[in-house]
């Protein structure tokens, strides 16, 4: 008996870039969500709608905690700069 199959494929990558800034929490959360929640185009409408609603609620939680992580990291950087005697620079970071 012959068995069909055994093909090897490569996927397509996307490239996201920024100029004069980093990615916002919303942009990163969108990429993160695409990895966590996959909604099939062929899913029954009721299930798809529920999945998309869940995805959106996750988006808000992710964005909130990403902002919190950023602020917390700035506190760490602020203190590192203070310890290094860079009071002005530390203050600039704190005000970001």
Query: By the criterion CB under 8 A, which residues form the site for other proteins?
Result: 5-23, 31, 34-35, 38
Smallest distance from the beta carbon of 26 to other proteins, in angstroms? 14
Smallest distance from the beta carbon of 48 to other proteins, in angstroms? 16
d(CA 62, CA 56): 10
Instruction: Closer to other proteins by CB, 6 or 44: give it.
Output: 6
Instruction: Closer to other proteins by CB, 42 or 85: give it.
Output: 42
**Exposed/middle/buried for residue 77 (C-beta within 10 Å: 0-12, 13-18, 19+):** middle
d(CA 84, CA 78): 10
Instruction: Closer to other proteins by CB, 35 or 95: give it.
Output: 35
Structure letter (DSSP) for residue 34: H
């Amino acid at each position: 008996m012959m068995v069909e199959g055994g093909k090897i494929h490569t996927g397509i990558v996307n490239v996201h870039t920024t100029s004069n800034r980093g990615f916002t929490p919303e942009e990163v959360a969108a990429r993160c969500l695409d990895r966590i929640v996959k909604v099939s185009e062929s899913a029954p409408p009721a299930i798809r709608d529920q999945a998309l609603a869940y995805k959106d609620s996750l988006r808000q939680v992710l964005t909130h905690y990403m902002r919190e992580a950023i602020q917390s990291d700035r506190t760490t950087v602020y203190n590192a700069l203070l310890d290094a005697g860079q009071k002005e620079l530390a203050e600039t970071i704190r005000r970001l």
